[in-house]
Structure 1
């Protein structure tokens, strides 16, 4: 597989990249929507985090912005391919299963570090305007995952380039990065608490933490893991969005009583 990837032409790499990122974005998004909007509520498992409605205009905007990100990520596959062509990076030859597993674990930790650094930068006054389009989704959806300004997509899309320069990773470990990254991203934007009984600091409470980031517009810059927010003191308290959500519920209650 590694040899096949390296033997592709530049246009083939970009075409396959767009198809790959578009396919996983739509596939994960549709599956998550089905599970969190229909299956789990019907089974009485978990709960919606933010009850405020999401309109069709938001979904159209998310899909349009995500289309741009898919193009950037897909066309951007030419950069790791280019590192290999130039000899600046190499792929591992005949890697064993344990090597691939360890590499995936290392890349998962790096992915969270890379995400935290770039996400924190995007909340500075110099780059905030490029993160604003993503935060228009105050109530996140599975289709918010790639809903980025092009500058943000470029910042987040270079995650595998630095590791490739310092180690000969296996093809399968590198290919796993966009898969687990989008999976974590999709879960975080699902607006659904899959495991209400686990603590707020648990890895399985990632959707709870990222929901608060969208509702409170700051803090919780990490994603699946919590070590970066703990290290730099940027973790939001579990009740950070209570004021906004309580105000919405009171408004709903008043409207319901008025119409009764």
Structure 2
């Protein structure tokens, strides 16, 4: 294995590129496992703490079944296998010369790159999510919608086909532009954080509108209850543009009868 980034003259991009295929896949499995477990634990702690303080409220108060949690963990394990071993694809793009990392990038350029990538992430997600709701592909998306009451552990709870569709988000950008290594690395981290918010089953900002950037958890909660709309990811612009928004009623909470 090459020297760790920062211990010699290698940059993070050079270190990553110099890894073997097996090392890349092992790194990917550790990386996505830590993201998933860390995101789930932290979101659970955050929502529990806010509930104790009386800030916001739970969206769906029905009891959570052990069967749902077990299914989410099992399906998420398969997704982590796909996402983790799939890191060999962008690594391979660099190896064969289809893409390369920018050698130098200032803070402003990196911030702009991350912003563009996250906007593309929303577009990519809307396209694939909308396709998964077609008659031809819905059978691959039903696994995710079995989490009627979402949890932070629903975040990676996908059929393998869905995981493959959603996991290729950085490949096209890599081909059309030389991004800095850390700009690309930020995408799965920010995506997981925003996705875990969307599946948190918690209303953080009850007073904002459905289309507000801070209403992501409410929008995705509505999607799990009314799957005909709200196909977007963290933002609402694709649903507004494509007229696929699912308007909420006056109270979005699903209380126990």
Paired position in structure 1 for 2:32: 21
* Matching of residues 1-260 of structure 1 within 5 Å: 1-36=12-47, 38-239=48-249, 245=254, 249=256, 252=257
Return the alpha-carbon distance in structure 2 between the equivalents of residues 18 and 228 of structure 1: 31
Aligned-CA RMSD value: 1.4
Q: Secondary structure at the match of 2:218?
A: helix
The 1:24–1:187 alpha-carbon spacing in structure 2 relative to 1, beyond 3 Å, is same
Return the alpha-carbon distance in structure 2 between the equivalents of residues 233 and 182 of structure 1: 26
Measured against aligned partners, the alpha-carbon deviations of 1:34-69 in whole angstroms (never above 9, x if no partner) come to 111x21111111101111111111111101100000
The 1:240–1:189 alpha-carbon spacing in structure 2 relative to 1, beyond 3 Å, is farther
TM-aligned CA deviation for residue 217 of structure 1? 2.1
Return the alpha-carbon distance in structure 1 between the equivalents of residues 172 and 196 of structure 2: 24
Segments of structure 1 that go 5 or more residues without pairing to the other structure are 253-260
Return the alpha-carbon distance in structure 1 between the equivalents of residues 20 and 109 of structure 2: 28
Q: For structure 1, which segment, 49-58 or 201-210, has the greater mean C-alpha deviation from structure 2 after superposition? A: 49-58
Paired position in structure 2 for 1:255: none
TM-score normalised by L of structure 1: 0.92
**Contact 1:48/1:192, CA 8 A, preserved across alignment:** yes
Q: For structure 1, which segment, 195-204 or 132-141, has the greater mean C-alpha deviation from structure 2 after superposition? A: 195-204
Return the alpha-carbon distance in structure 1 between the equivalents of residues 251 and 133 of structure 2: 18
Segments of structure 2 that go 5 or more residues without pairing to the other structure are 1-11
